[in-house]
Amino acid sequence: MHPATTIAEHGAGPDPEACPSSAHDRLGVDRPCQNAQMPPHPVDLAEKLSLFSERWSPKVVARLNDYEIKVVKVEGEFVWHTHADTDELFLVIDGELTIQLRDGNVHLRPGQLFVVPRGIEHCPIAKGEAHAMLIEPVGVVNTGDAGGSLTATYDDSLK
């Protein structure tokens, strides 16, 4: 929605409804033109999950301020690691996922979530295939400080 003042500022320039990105640039609005975007639509997590099969390779499906919403398929044991600077949210969508912590394990069923506090060592494990949604800041590396072969490439191709 264009506030009336911004429409007035377009003046005799291009039709405000056409909403060229250059007009937005002139106004210093750092976001894409509404008219240039797809109509509003939901992000269907099941559909997104149907588009890939890799395990332990989170895919970005949406962004929220400086955070990203990701979906991931997991199976077997991950690697013990720590994120020194951020908490990490796991919400199980399908299957069962256990978050191993040094103080005990947290078992998650579909519809259940757990937030691993920053600096707390953890290691997800799933006996069978499980699907989960993650919420974490942009730039988080899935293996944290551990690195290694399970470190995923950043992938926002599903966004």
Task: Output DSSP code: residue 126.
Answer: E
Positions in 80-99 near Ni ion (CB under 5 A): 88
Closer by beta carbon to Ni ion, 68 or else 88: 88
Q: Which is nearer to Ni ion, 95 or 114 (CB)?
A: 114
CB of 151 to Ni ion, least distance (A): 11
**Minimum CB–partner distance for residue 1 and Ni ion (Å):** 39
The residues that bridge with 52 in the sheet, in sequence order, are none
CB of 142 to Ni ion, least distance (A): 6
Minimum CB distance to Ni ion smaller for 10 or for 81: 81
Cβ-proximal residue to Ni ion, closest one: 88
Which of helix, strand or coil describes residue 155?
A: coil
Q: Please check whether residue 90 is in contact with residue 59, taking contact to mean a CB–CB distance below 8 angstroms.
A: no
SS (H, E, C) 7-56: HHHHCCCCCCCCCCHHHHHHHCCCCCCHHHCCCCCCCCHHHHHCCCCCEC
Token code pair at residue 48: 């997104």
In the complex, what is the shortest distance from the CB of residue 54 to Ni ion, in angstroms, rounded to a whole number? 17
**Binding footprint of Ni ion, residue count (CB under 5 A):** 1
Residues that bind Ni ion (CB under 5 A): 88
